[in-house]
Amino acid sequence: MNSKKRAAEKAVEYIQDGMIVGLGTGSTAYYAIEKIGERARSGLRIKAVASSKRSEELAKQFGVALVPIEEIDSIDITIDGADEVDNNNNLIKGGGGALLREKILASHSKRFVVIIDESKLVGKLGRFPVPVEIVPFASNLTLRHLRALDCEPRIRRDAENVYITDNGNMIADCFFDIIEDPEILSARMNSIPGVVENGLFSHTMVHAVIIGTENDTVKIKK
Ligand SMILES: O=C(CO)[C@H](O)[C@H](O)COP(=O)(O)O
């Protein structure tokens, strides 16, 4: 079993009967959704909300019952991947383009459990570009504001075309070197008109990080 799958399957052990479960997006979250489906077929009764159209499709494929997000008040547990995790459990997310819905789910979750392999661990964030969801209107001007934060923003493309999120927006991938203070940077980014949300997730949201290692075990970082 690979490391991502090992982390995902460990996280799924936290799920109990009757819970509302947030489904993440990406290749690690895939294994979690697959495992939740397996447990559902063995009798686990849960309802799920998805952070992307892709994860919604996977849930249907694996037989995970979905509930419209408008019908819930809170989420018991969300299980999701990350692109980088620093020493304090701050995250960069959104490599899969789903950061806005992922952050909404995480912020309403009693437990937000992050599943990664060891390659995602860093001392300080910044090796991976910070994805920022921006509205298409005046995106050139929004990029100018982002550039003033000392990064090189690039509009994400999907082969030939500009990548469009599930919310009809664009992603600016912002290349920094080292991010010294993710909280301040996140606040600065979100104060720019035209920015919808950014991919920096505060450690204050994170309940646990489950790391699948190469040697058949998982480590849990709180
Ligand atoms: O934030 C995400 C999607 O928007 C993913 O969780 C992140 O990109 C990690 O993906 P993977 O598990 O495929 O490495």
- Quote the pTM value: 0.97
Q: What is the predicted ipTM?
A: 0.98
Instruction: Check if 198 has its Cβ closer than 6 Å to any atom of ligand 1.
Output: no
- Which atom of ligand 1 is least distant from the CA of 93? 1
Determine the distance separating the centroid of ligand 1 and the alpha carbon of 167, expressed in angstroms: 17
Cα distance between residue 121 and residue 215, in whole Å = 16
Which 3 state secondary structure label does DSSP give 145?
A: helix
Pocket test for ligand 1, best of 4, 6, 28 (most atoms within 8 A of CB): 28
CATH 3.30.70.260 domain range(s) in the chain: 130-193
Question: 149: Cβ–Cβ under 8 A, 6 or more apart, which residues?
Answer: 174, 185, 188, 189
CATH topology of domain 130-193: Alpha-Beta Plaits (3.30.70)
For the question of residue 102 being annotated catalytic, the response is yes
Q: Across residues 35-62, what is the average pLDDT?
A: 98
* Interval 181-217: pLDDT, tens: 999 999 999 999 999 999 999 999 999 999 999 887 8
Domain 3-121+202-221, classified CATH 3.40.50.1360, yes or no:
yes
Is any atom of ligand 1 closer than 6 Å to the C-beta of 120?
no
Q: Are 173 and 80 in contact (CB under 8 A)?
A: no
54 lines ligand 1 (CB under 6 A): no
Q: Is ligand 1 within 6 A of the CB of residue 32?
A: no
95-150 residue pLDDT tens: 999 999 999 999 999 999 999 999 999 999 999 999 999 999 999 999 999 999 99
Q: Distance (Å, rounded) from C-alpha 39 to C-alpha 149?
A: 45
Among residues 183, 212, 29, the alpha carbon closest in space to that of 112 is found at 29
Q: Is the distance from the beta carbon of residue 84 to the nearest atom of ligand 1 less than 6 Å?
A: no
Looking at the chain, the domain(s) classified CATH 3.40.50.1360 span: 3-121+202-221
The single residue of 9, 84, 102, 133 carrying the catalytic annotation is: 102
C-alpha 58 to ligand 1 mean position (Å): 15
